[in-house]
Amino acid sequence: MGQYTQEGGITCWRKLCPLAEGIGYGGQLILLYSCMTYIIILSWALLYLVFSFSSQLPWANCNNYWNTDDCVDYSTKNYTFQWTNGTNSTSAATEFWERRVLSISGGIEEIGSIRWEVLLCLIVMWIICYFCIWKGVKSTGKVVYFTATFPYLMLFILLIRGLSLPGALKGVVFYLLPDPSRLMDPQVWMEAGAQIFFSYSVGVGSLTVLGSYNKQNNNCYKDCLYLCLLNSGTSIVAGFAVFSVLGFMAHEQDVPIAQVAESGPGLAFIAYPQAVAMMPLPQLWSICFFVMLILLGLDTQFVAMEVVMTSIIDMFPRVMRRAGRREMFLLLFCLTCFFSQLVMVTEGGMYVFQMFDYYACNGACILFLCVFETLALGWIFGAERLCGIIKHMTGERTNPFFKICWLYLTPLVSLGTFICSLVEYQPLTFNRWYVYPSWAYVLGWVLALSSILLVPGWALYKLSARTGTLRQRFHDLCQPVVDNLLNQKKEVELQNMGAEFLEPLAMN
């Protein structure tokens, strides 16, 4: 729809359905939270990349000053005995992550001092992001040619290496044949649904904003098809690359693969580095992995920042489209995010990071927004009107299945998943043992509700600001501003056709 209005984010919703303008604000807020958390992951990856150039990987042994007596050294021959018999044993990779990189404190109440190495990496990542997008999509597009394609080369190299390792088949089988009992767990499907929303950037306005830069007659059907195939295909190939290495790791330790599999930051900063340390030429594979991780992460960070910037520029075009205004505002945006996330690079920063990731960027928040997005588009703006716009843009008639999705399937699935996520809610813990204090859970719910409540809150504000009866105000706010655009454009086309027809007559 941004392609049709030539504007994205909040302004697009304001034109399509003024009553649903709060959806745009909620999506932008989730993106803002994502910007603050995602770049922290990139900072950790950059620090690991720097350590990868060491003569010996620091997470490969227990001979470092940060290691404890419970550390398991996989470079020795008796590491399997240590792992299976030591109840309090921890791997060298885990101790490097928790005691060297994070220097993690005992809880969120103990913020501690700033981790200066992580802070320096954070500054470097913000500088890279700033200069890659400061000129808009033209500069970002040139950078993305490298950051979006080079990771595929790294992924292919890691895939070949992973499949050639002993035990790789064990990991691939575990990847392709899920546990049937887990398929009956609704939590698994909720996590899968939330991951799809995150993976495709659905619900937060990213595709709407980027689509606003396309020409009006751009074939959005092909774009959607290519996006789905490329995204899902990349995820499948990456799964083979990761689980083949995890299979090798389980083979070397002689333990079930479920015991070495991690999720979240643990996969990228504990499980995979630990497996890499057990390979020949570990520095080479570590460099390849973290270069790929950084470049893939930069693409995501670019999009999130560009969406926020474009939305604000579209809201205040007269002010923000003057020379130098974009660069100055982007600098202000980066500095604000940087100083706001300093608490995440402290010794207790991991607890704050997880709280933001679990509550502020939660899949339930996006699912809630998607329920109202589909209701606003399918029922208020109108599925028939939407089909007419797509036909006018692409020249192709919309498949009736899409109308069924807009009207029924998508809102029902999103609503059902959102309700299940509330019913199955589990309080956040760290490493399955640390329980957050009550005030932290309250703060987490405030972060979650900050985006959710913008939708009904903004609708109530718009209704109260109008005059007339409640029914009249509701009817006026449900009328899209773009209703007359199609007719105006048709009139311009007819006028141009008339001018072309009359010009030869005038010459004669």
Question: What are the tens digits of pLDDT across the range 257-283?
Answer: 877 776 667 778 988 888 888 888 899
Contact 70, 90 (CB under 8 A): yes
- What is the reported pLDDT for 178? 77
Contact 276, 174 (CB under 8 A): no
- What is the reported pLDDT for 85? 47
- What is the reported pLDDT for 421? 83
Q: Which residues of 487-497 are buried (b: 16+ CB within 10 A; e: fewer)?
A: eeeeeeeeeee
- What is the reported pLDDT for 383? 87
pLDDT > 90: percent of the chain:
25
- What is the reported pLDDT for 340? 92
Indicate the pTM of the whole model.
Answer: 0.87
Could you tell me the two tokens for 497?
Answer: 């056709």
Type of residue at 29 = L
- What is the reported pLDDT for 2? 63
Say how far apart CA 322 and CA 108 lie, in whole Å.
44
Proportion of the chain in helix, strand, coil states, percent, rounded to 5: 75, 0, 25
- Calculate the alpha carbon distances from 200 to 10, 194, 203, 226, 329 in Å: 19, 10, 9, 12, 27
- What is the reported pLDDT for 263? 65
The size of the chain, in residues, is: 508
Nearest to 272 by CA among 57, 417, 86: 57
Residue 280, SS3 per DSSP:
coil
- What is the reported pLDDT for 314? 82
- What is the reported pLDDT for 45? 95
Nearest to 203 by CA among 460, 444, 410: 410
pLDDT beneath 50, residues of the chain: 77, 79-86, 488, 490-508
